[in-house]
Amino acid sequence: MSKWINVNKRLPNDDRQVFALSGASAYLSNFRDGQWWLTRTIGLGNVIRWMEVPGEPKDFKHWLNRLREWINRRKDNAQEASEWLTGWTSKNAQLDKKITFYKDSSGKLMAGLPEHIPAPKGYQKIICNTAAEAERFSSLQRQQEGYDHRRQQEERGAIEGQFADSIRSEMRTKAANARNNLNKDFMRRAIERMDGKGDPTAYQRESYLHAEAYEKNH
């Protein structure tokens, strides 16, 4: 297999495709006029190494897979080294400030108050000592809230749907009994607009712990 070549040691010949390593990602790119390019007009920056593309087209997929495997191993090794040096993983990370949940008799979860505050009557307090425990209960709470939210949306839609059907029926009656083609066309367009318009009050929601939302850029 071809080896990565440091750009400070050697650069490829102009205007031919090679693999270019930028950050932790590899790209099929061209080196032309002293610059790296993804396409004829889109440049590629921060290239630190490059690699020859196999000459035989039948080998391209094989070498691309090998390249991806190498990059994945590089990422995994870096993560393992970091965890070994720091002794930290998501499973054993101890929380300085414990995250608390409350659970009622039906098993429904809700976010709790700080650890030292007693749980309300009828609720069981769950104290999460590790990040893994907090993520697990947060995921369970998110699943429960998702189910409740979908059920509420369906119930609301069923009630509002009756009103919408009644309005639509009245509009069709007026279109059928219109005095002239202008009024009939107006009602037809109004019905089409109503049929094609989505529910403006429908929405989706998900709740996360503050740390989870920060990691997901919410």
| Whether residue 156 is found in the same domain as residue 128 | yes
Query: C-alpha dihedral over 60, 65, 67, 68, to 10 degrees?
Result: 140
Q: What is the pLDDT of residue 17?
A: 84
Q: What is the CA radius of gyration of the chain?
A: 30
Q: What is the DSSP letter of 54?
A: P
**Same domain as 49, residue 139:** no
- Per-residue tens of pLDDT for the chain, all 218 residues: 568 899 999 998 877 788 888 887 888 888 888 888 888 888 888 899 998 886 545 556 666 777 777 777 766 666 555 555 445 455 555 566 788 888 888 888 888 788 788 888 888 888 888 878 888 888 888 888 887 888 887 887 778 778 778 888 888 888 888 888 888 888 888 888 877 776 666 666 666 665 554 445 54
157 shares its domain with 185: yes
The reply to whether 151 and 48 lie within a common domain is: no
pLDDT value, residue 215: 47
pLDDT score recorded for residue 126: 87
Are 101 and 206 in a shared domain? yes
CA distances in angstroms from 100 to 124, 135, 148, 211, listed in the order given: 10, 12, 21, 14
64 and 137 together in one domain = no
> Are 80 and 112 within one domain?
no
Of 51, 86, 121, the residue that ends a domain is: 86
What's the N-to-C CA distance of the chain in angstroms?
A: 42
Residues spanned by the domain of 78? 5-86
Q: How far is CA 140 from CA 120, 126, 205, 209, in A?
A: 20, 13, 15, 12
Beta bridge partners of 65: none
Residues 77 and 168 occupy one common structural domain: no
What pTM value is reported for the model? 0.42
- Note whether 138 and 109 are within 8 A (CB): no
Do residues 34 and 98 share a domain? Answer: no
Region of residue 152 (left: phi > 0; alpha: psi -120 to 50; beta: else): alpha
- Residues 114 and 205 both lie in one domain: yes
Q: Residue 189's CB: how many other CB atoms inside 10 A? A: 11
Residues 109 and 82 in one domain: no
In the listed set 67, 86, 105, which residue is the last one of a domain according to the structure?
86
Q: Measuring CA to CA, which residue among 21, 20, 129 is closest to residue 32?
A: 20
Q: What is the pLDDT of residue 6?
A: 92
Q: What's the domain count of the chain?
A: 2
- Copy the structure tokens of residue 130: 């590790």
Q: Are residues 107 and 77 in the same domain?
A: no
- 99: exposed, middle or buried (Cβ count in 10 Å: 0-12, 13-18, 19+): buried
Listed residues 66, 86, 106: the one ending a domain: 86
pLDDT number for residue 8: 92
3-class DSSP assignment, residue 44: coil
How many beta carbons lie within 10 A of that of residue 157, not counting itself? 14
> Count of residues for the chain?
218
